[in-house]
Structure 1
Amino acid sequence: MRVSLIQLAVDPAEPVAARRARAARLVREQRGSDLVVLPELWHIGAFAYESFTRDAETVEGPTARAMAEAARDAGVWLHAGSIAERPEPGGPVFNTSLVLSPAGELVRTYRKIHRFGFDRGEAVLMSAGTEIVTVDLPATTLGLATCYDLRFPELFRALVDEGATTLVVPAGWPERRREHWSLLARARAVENQSYVLACGTAGTHAGVRQAGHSVVVDPWGTVLAEAGPDEEVLTAELDPAEVAKVREEFPALKDRVLGR
């Protein structure tokens, strides 16, 4: 199974429409991959708080339509990162991930549960999701999380309990906490004996430099591929059977006592 993580650079001088078109072009260039992943809030920038309400869309809006066309043209499953979603005019805004099929159909959405900001920014400007979301692909089951969610292991254990074998984490993670990003991605892979696909952004969001360093981690915690700090497409080959093999050879999940 071939996966491609598009570590898109976000430049505040680039209009949203131009970035949307550029992201769609990069998705189309990944024909031959089975799954393509984009970062969190790449259309506006994860720290561009003033844009959360101004540029919010529905899941039938321009970003979703552009990504659906790109997924269909490339013939790939597409985790289109997340958008600022406002389902109803004047209603709450959510940080919502979109998963599209190779036919361009919107298969599932995930509204970010853990909002970052400590009583400011996303934590007050966006509403929290409540649903644990998995998506069945032909070769694996995706468990969906977003950025700050990575710090909350109970979410990932719940995803595994729902059958997830590949954990997908789009993010807009700041460079000053890059070591946490790398450490937590590996930890979530090891403790859940699952693949982790952690796709961040490059560039600067509202003055906040991004970490980059998107990473693909296998169920044993081995880093299969890691990006640098700049815009990059990271591609890796996964063996979906490896998850069951690791869980059988080292059956730590069977020894759980708490949380069952």
Structure 2
Amino acid sequence: MNILLAQLPIADAQVEINLSNMLSMIRNAPLDTDLIVFPETTLSGFPTREEIGTTGLMTRSKPIRLIQEAARKSNTAIAFGFCEQADGRAYNTALLVDGSGRIALKYRKTHLWPDTDWGVFEAGSQYAVCEIASLRVGMLICYDIEFPETARALALLDADLILVLDGNMDPYGPVHRRAVITRATENQCFAVLVNRIGEGRGLSFPGESIAVDPFGNVLVESTDGHPVGVTLDRRRIEESRKSYRYLRDRRAAPLGVERTSSEDGVANTVSVIPG
């Protein structure tokens, strides 16, 4: 699979500007690109609560239909984020549109960041995967990647590739770089993280997008603020799981908790594996 890590600047609460930049990126992508991955809230940026009415989109909104059409014309899958309005609520949502223009996957951010998400978005509660170019793909959004359980949930759905649509600001860029390497390693799958660049809402976004193989090796990363391409070979997944498989070998069925007291009266909590 050939992936374009399409990190780019985003204008907060300016859908038309962001849509224009996305369509330009799609038109100019290399012809052999299978999947273009954009950052968190690509279309909307980070809206305030007051801006949801003018910035929020439904999945049938015109900007999304235009992206679907661009995907169909280029025969390229596209992952992007936006402020979704549904059932009177707003969600920080990622869509994965396949090369036929069909919405193959929708994911709502489950772990909300205090500065940009709280008070604006509702949290999602479901994880899912779909197949793109012979790989099973799942998505996470920004803060999600800092929690091992999120990537593990996708791994349990047999994900081969985890996409992280990122809106990570300074000084936290290195946190997500370390996290995505760890998540790829512990789940023996590929992971691709794409962050926004530039300024917005008084925040600075460093880019630092990265692709990692199932061994935790960095395949490519962007250090100059430009989009970067990478090719994923699914044989690396098979190689990483040949001698051992973490999902098979783990002893995680549910942990019991045993409380004990030491001789000096200080209470300790000890997790034990039943049986």
User: So what's the TM-score if we normalise by structure 2?
Assistant: 0.86
**Against the structure 1 CA distance between its residues 132 and 240, is the aligned structure 2 distance closer, same or farther, given a 3 Å change threshold?**
same
Give the number of equivalent residue pairs: 253
Runs of 4+ in 1 over 4 A off after TM superposition: 47-50
Alignment of 1:26-175 (within 5 A): 26-30=25-29, 31-46=31-46, 50-79=50-79, 81-88=80-87, 91-117=88-114, 121-175=116-170
Residue 229 of structure 2 aligns to a residue whose secondary structure is: strand
CA distance in 2: counterparts of 1:50 and 1:153, whole angstroms = 33
Counterparts of residues 111-260 of structure 1 (less than 5 Å)? 111-117=108-114, 121-228=116-223, 230=225, 232-259=226-253
Does the CA contact (< 8 Å) of 1:8 and 1:202 recur in 2?
yes
> Bigger CA drift: 244-253 or 194-203?
244-253
Q: Which residue of 1 aligns with 2:23?
A: 24
Q: Which of 1 and 2 has higher RCO (CA within 8 Å, sep 6+)?
A: 1
Cα pair 1:211 1:229 within 8 Å, conserved:
no
**1:220-260: CA deviations, max 9, x gaps?**
11111101252x21100110121122111333332200157
Aligned-residue sequence identity (percent) comes to: 26
Higher alpha-carbon deviation: 168-177 or 26-35: 26-35
Deviation at 1:53, TM superposition (A): 4.4
Say which SS state the counterpart of residue 119 (structure 2) adopts: helix
User: Once superposed, what is the RMSD of the aligned Cα atoms?
Assistant: 1.8
Which segments of 5 or more consecutive residues in structure 1 lack a partner in the other structure? none
2:99 partner SS: coil
Once the two structures are superposed, what CA deviation does each residue of 1:4-30 show, in whole Å capped at 9, x if it has no partner? 110011245x94312211211101222
Report the AA paired with residue 4 of structure 1. Answer: L
- Name whichever structure is richer in strand by fraction: 2
What is the TM-score of this pair, normalised by structure 1? 0.91
CA distance in 2, matches of 1:166, 1:60: 27
Please list every run of 5 or more consecutive structure 2 residues that lacks an aligned counterpart in the other structure: 255-275
1:105-152 deviation line (CA, Å, top 9, x unaligned): 1122111111110xx641221111111111112321001111110011
